[in-house]
Copies of this chain bind each other. A is one copy, B any other.
Amino acid sequence: MKLSRLQAFSDGVFAILITILVMDFRVPPYSSGHLLAAVLRQWPVLAAYILSFMYIGILWLFHHDLFSVFAKIDRNVNLLNLLMLFAITLINYPTALLSDTLMHHERADLQVAFMSYAGVALFISLTFLLLYRYLNLHPELKSTRVNAQSFATITYDPLRSIVIYFLSIVATFFSVSFGALLLVGGIIFHFYAYLHLSRRLIV
């Protein structure tokens, strides 16, 4: 398979996933004349949507730059990419859990929602880690756009994300707000990791 085909397929999955998230925005149940209150009560749907749109958007940018590191791909890269896409599509589920539980404010349920989200995020970072490792073990796949040293400094970013998401899961046991903060922090860290990677590519 050619690299461009893998990229086009992955872009397709990203575009679909980021768009179908909006389908969780449904008309809320409301009694005639009180739509406004019902719409305002839906703020968690918007909040969860913004979080996941941002997250998937960053993952897409990241995925793009990561694969521009490859000069060619082999069958294992293809399978690792499918595993990564699998992990990413899962985001849809904790997003829905988050919107729902944030509307009811029950602590135990909120913990489940935030932990599921952080768990999926941890899984996604794990698939990135696997791909980075594989790339390090197979330098023949690397394009000459990145020198070995600068790539080495990037290679621990997925591990850092995994630690953040793991801490988020643990923290949620004690404080939902603190766990949530770490989760959002993890996603913002992805953005820095992306800037990190993309700057290396330009050099």
Contact = CB atoms under 8 A, between A and B. Distances in A.
Interface of A: 1, 5, 7-9, 11-23, 25-27, 30, 32-36, 39, 50, 53, 57, 60-61, 64-65, 75, 78, 82, 85-86, 89-90, 92-93, 96-97, 100-101, 104, 106, 108-109, 112-113, 116, 195, 198
Q: Is the interface of A mostly helix, strand, loop or mixed?
A: helix
Contacts of A104: 32
The 8 A-B pairs of least Cβ separation, nearest first, read: A12-B15, A35-B109, A25-B93, A16-B19, A57-B82, A35-B112, A22-B89, A22-B92
A117 B130 CA distance: 32
A101 to B, nearest CB: 7
12 contacts: A9-B11, A9-B14, A25-B90, A27-B100, A32-B104, A32-B106, A35-B106, A35-B109, A35-B113, A39-B116, A57-B82, A75-B198
A45 B66 CA distance: 31
Contacts of A109: 30, 32-36
A1 B106 contact: no
A53 to B, nearest CB: 5
A15 B22 contact: no
A20 B86 CA distance: 12
A1 B97 contact: no
